[in-house]
A and B are shown apart, each in its own frame.
Chain A
């Protein structure tokens, strides 16, 4: 049995890329650099795409990347990042499980003089030093919803709106909610918000909330979801009520989202989705690795690097699709 397990370990080590080789022909990066990338989860397309982008960008920069996935457990993430520190990596990129529990490991990385960059989620304010690369959730959501309001305005009537809100323990969800509120506040003559669905990023909660909202307000004609990952719940409810129509068709519900995943891309192509705010994963990944290189080079790096993202809609789909990570996942 011992032989069996050890053979399995050795086999999986080789199969799993334990001995990943970096491409020495690629340009850029600091020779021989190793970074640890710790993700809280790989449960949605966004995180899988981001991890893939890290692998590709590390290869391009001649950086060896080791990865750890905490499977939604903050203590496991602490343990895994400590392992990175033990391995004396040259930098750490982390998607923290939550803003508070990541502070001890940032402090540990500070003590070991290892640059720490947080991807997509900032830490809570503290004396621990790190760089956070985050999407400008507020501004990007506001721009997306403003574009949707423009479409609503063209119909010449007032629309009843529903918004799906994320986990309010997640600062990204708060930014998106506030961005939505700011945009609709600018156009009270066009939009009346009649339903706010708390989803905690759960498909099941979103589905139940959307169905309830449609029962209470069957004439909802404007929907924004704080994450494209919740679009299937909305589509399901729209189909059930016979209101899943393409843009331009009578009865079309103006629909917008945030993230830019593969489902959103497909719905844009098919004409069911009006717009989505795209987090520029490629920009964020490059910014993370650049920040590590700059910190190691002694350069000053801002505490927060904002990804402005972009709004993709029916009007600019062909032009912007190459920059949309969800479009590339689909391909």
Chain B
């Protein structure tokens, strides 16, 4: 059973699963391997990956950010309110798109910072803090827009979500930078040390409070980037953007191998998780499976991932 143990403990297990599933589904799933479908896959995978990368940073510290979907909604409507050609604050202005993009990313970072400050300052569990802010930010987005989408966004902005090469141009540098920061910088090591044992890290001189706050800032900022891509795809700012995506974000992150208990994670693993998750979604949809069966399979996959995570922890402890 040594091979089985090695397989389960491998860092690349989920990538292997994704490749095998792609290979198994390809012969009898019309259109799965077409270039058009692979571009679609990239367009749907990248925004989820951006948000899941932020979630990875938070989870490495031992926390969780349930508010990312609400941050995305606020960022979406704020950016759209800036750029909209109908009622936007900078309608028709040449700086509308850059200011709108900055507003989306900036508001995400600020809201993430508020989450982090509450977790550290109030010494409250991240679950409760981000659950509360999820409800608050979600209500805020619906209230300021009166539950209405904001359309007429500039074509240049919509292209970020609608063209695969442009989305890749945004996502790849961010992913590479995030990977290098986590693996090669002092901040990255502090993040892992905080997640493994916050008390020991503090005694060793790690500024645990600042590290935790910064992880939530990164999570909010990347939620803003994800919102930018999703908003571009839908060509409208939505106060309920991402409302149903939390399962995918947390599920894909955990599926990749980032531990719910902190101290273990990687944005490369998260890429594997997101890839597998979206590949499953994509393939199952192309097969014409019913909604209920797709949900059953996705639920089963998360259960398997959580089991594997517990197994890894036991075997490495």
Contact = CB atoms under 8 A, between A and B. Distances in A.
Interface of A: 1-2, 5-6, 8-10, 12-13, 15-18, 20, 42, 66-69, 71-76, 78-80, 82-83, 85-88, 98-101, 103-104, 124, 167-169, 200
Contact of B235 (A13, A101, A169): A101
A169 B148 contact: yes
A12 B234 contact: no
A86 B25 contact: no
Contact of B31 (A15, A67, A87): A87
A151 to B, nearest CB: 34
Contacts of B297: 8-9, 12
Contact of B7 (A1, A13, A16, A101): A1
Interface of B: 7-8, 13, 16-17, 20-21, 24-25, 28, 30-31, 34, 36-37, 40, 43-44, 47, 146-149, 151, 158, 162, 230, 233-236, 238, 240-245, 281-282, 284-293, 296-297, 300-301, 304, 308
Nearest to A13: B287
A98 B236 CA distance: 10
A13 B296 CA distance: 12
A2 B238 contact: no
Contact of A200 (B147, B235, B285): B147
B34 A86 contact: yes
Given A2-B16, A8-B297, 8 more contacts: A13-B289, A18-B288, A75-B47, A79-B282, A98-B149, A98-B238, A99-B149, A100-B149
Contacts of B162: 104
B17 A5 contact: yes
Contact of B244 (A67, A71, A79): A71
Contacts of B43: 79, 82
Contacts of B8: 1
A86 B36 contact: yes
Contact of A78 (B30, B36, B234, B285): B234
A33 to B, nearest CB: 14
Nearest to B69: A73
A16 B289 CA distance: 5
A74 B73 CA distance: 12
B66 to A, nearest CB: 17
A73 B234 CA distance: 11
Pairs of residues from A and B, 4 with the lowest C-beta to C-beta distance, nearest first: A69-B291, A66-B288, A16-B293, A101-B234
Contact of B286 (A71, A78, A86, A168): A86
A75 B234 contact: yes
Contacts of A17: 288-290
Contacts of A16: 287-290, 292-293
Contacts of B291: 42, 67-69, 71
Contacts of A82: 40, 43
A9 B296 CA distance: 10
A92 B189 CA distance: 51
A75 B243 contact: no
A9 B25 contact: yes
Nearest to A78: B233
A9 B151 CA distance: 39
Contacts of A85: 36
15 contacts: A1-B308, A8-B297, A8-B300, A12-B296, A16-B289, A16-B293, A17-B289, A73-B244, A78-B233, A82-B43, A101-B234, A104-B162, A124-B151, A169-B146, A169-B149
A16 B296 CA distance: 11
B40 A86 contact: yes
Nearest to A85: B36
A9 B23 CA distance: 12
Nearest to B147: A169
A100 B236 contact: yes
Contacts of A15: 293
B21 A5 contact: yes
B288 A67 contact: yes
A162 to B, nearest CB: 22
A87 B290 contact: no
B168 to A, nearest CB: 17
A196 to B, nearest CB: 16
B159 to A, nearest CB: 11
Contact of B290 (A67, A86, A98): A67
